[in-house]
Amino acid sequence: MSKGRVFLVGAGPGDPKLITIKGLECISKADVLVYDRLVSGSLLKAAKPECEIIYAGKSPDGHTLSQLEINQVLVEKALQGKIVTRLKGGDPFVFGRGGEEAEALAEAGLPFEVVPGITSAVAVPAYAGIPVTHRDITSSFTVITGHEKPEKNDSAICWESLAKSGSTLVFLMGMENLNYICRKLMTNGLHPATPVGIVQWGTRAEQRVVTGRLENIVHLVEKEKLRNPSVIIVGEVVRLREKLKWFEHKPLFGKRIVVTRARHQASVLSEAIKELGGEPLEFPVIDIVHPSDPSLLPRAIEDIGKFTWVIFTSVNGVEAFLNELFRQEKDIRELAGIQIAAIGPATKRSLEDRGLRVSFLPEEYRAEKIVEGLSSLIRPGEHILLPRAEEARSFLPEALKMMGAEVSDIPAYKTAPGKAEKNELQQLLLEKRVDAVTFTSSSTVKNFLQLLDGRRELLSGVKAFSIGPVTSNTAKELGLNIFYEAEEYTIDGLIQGLIQGVGA
- Average pLDDT rounded to a whole number, residues 241-251: 96
| Dihedrals phi, psi of 152, to nearest 5 degrees | -60, 135
Cβ–Cβ < 8 Å for 251, 221: no
- 3-state helix, strand, coil split of the chain in percent (to 5) is 40, 20, 40
- Which of helix, strand or coil describes residue 101? helix
Between helix 67-79 and helix 98-107 the angle, nearest 10°, is 40
End-to-end CA distance of the chain: 56
Q: Are 281 and 259 in contact (CB under 8 A)?
A: yes
What's the pLDDT score for residue 504? Answer: 55
Q: Burial-class residue 40 by CB neighbours within 10 Å (0-12, 13-18, 19+).
A: buried
d(CA 230, CA 171): 9
Q: Is residue 271 helix, strand or coil?
A: helix
AA letter at 467: I
> What is the average pLDDT across 316-337?
94
What residues act catalytically? 36, 58, 173
pLDDT exceeds 80 at position 151: no
Q: How far is Cα of residue 253 from the mean position of the Cα atoms in its chain?
A: 13
* Sign of the C-alpha dihedral computed for residues 119, 125, 127 and 133 taken in this order: negative
Phi, psi (rounded to 5 degrees) for 270: -60, -45
Sorting pLDDT into bands at 50, 70 and 90, what band is 266? confident
Please tell me the distance from the alpha carbon of residue 320 to that of residue 388, in angstroms, as a whole number.
Answer: 9
**Predicted local confidence at residue 367, as pLDDT:** 67
Taken in order of first residue, the domains within the chain and their CATH numbers are 5-118 (3.40.1010.10), 122-248 (3.30.950.10), 256-285+418-502 (3.40.50.10090), 295-413 (3.40.50.10090)
DSSP code per residue over 283-330 = ---EEEE--SSTTHHHHHHHTGGG-SEEEE-SHHHHHHHHHHHHHTT-
267 compared with 460, residue with greater pLDDT: 460
Of the chain, the percentage scoring pLDDT greater than 70 comes to: 98
Residue 496 phi, psi dihedral angles, 5° rounding: -60, -40
Q: What is the mean pLDDT of residues 488-494?
A: 88
**SS3 of 99, please?**
helix
Contact 261, 444 (CB under 8 A): yes
CA-CA distance, 26 to 87, in Å (whole number)? 9
Q: Could you tell me how many residues make up the chain? A: 504
Determine the pLDDT at residue 353: 94
Whether 105 contacts 6, CB under 8 Å: yes
* Cα 409 from chain centre: 37
What sections of 311-467 are H helices per DSSP? 315-327, 345-353, 367-374, 395-402, 422-430, 442-451
Distance separating alpha carbons of residues 33 and 25, to the nearest angstrom: 12
| pLDDT tens digits for range 36-66 | 999 998 899 899 999 999 999 876 666 678 9
Q: Confidence class of residue 369 from pLDDT cuts 50, 70 and 90?
A: confident
What is the structure's pLDDT at 430?
Answer: 96
Bond into 280 cis (ω within 30): no
Phi and psi at residue 135, to the nearest 5°: -55, -35
pLDDT, mean of residues 467-482: 93
Q: Which amino acid does the sequence have at 34?
A: V
Mean pLDDT of the chain: 93
Q: How many whole angstroms separate alpha carbon 256 and alpha carbon 281?
A: 7
Flag the least confident range among 208-212, 382-386, 488-492: 488-492
**89 DSSP 8-state letter:** S
